[in-house]
Amino acid sequence: MKTTPIHELLARIRWDPAFGRARFEIAYWDRVRGTEAKVPFERIHLEPGAHFTFEAVEADGSLHTVPYHRVRKVWRDGELIWSRPGRRGGS
């Protein structure tokens, strides 16, 4: 699996038209639930100037600020393309 930093991968999804036209899902560690939360990229908001976090809108409409270091996995059209090495559990 590639070791591209997550902020670079998210920027590529957002700004590379050929790469970004796929369906992406992001899994991040939810400290409150103690498990991974998976959200479609369409429910991720990357704010200009926010270099360490993004906003994720859950299925129930709740908004979570997610630090990049809590992102665990990224899928492109159902295929796992990125995962954080060496992580188990929360942080």
CA–CA dist 80, 91 (Å, integer): 21
Whether the pLDDT of residue 89 is over 60: the answer is no
Select from 1.10.20, 3.10.260, 3.40.50, 2.30.30 the CATH code of 6-83.
2.30.30
Count of positions (residues) in the chain: 91
For the chain, the domains span: 6-83
pLDDT band for position 86 (cuts 50, 70, 90): low
- CB of 25 closer than 8 Å to CB of 38: yes
CA torsion 41→25→51→46, rounded to 10°?
10
pTM for this entry:
0.85
The position carrying tokens 């295929």 is 79
Q: Which of the two residues, 86 and 91, has the higher pLDDT score?
A: 86
pLDDT tens string 39-82: 999 999 988 888 899 999 988 888 989 999 999 999 999 999 99
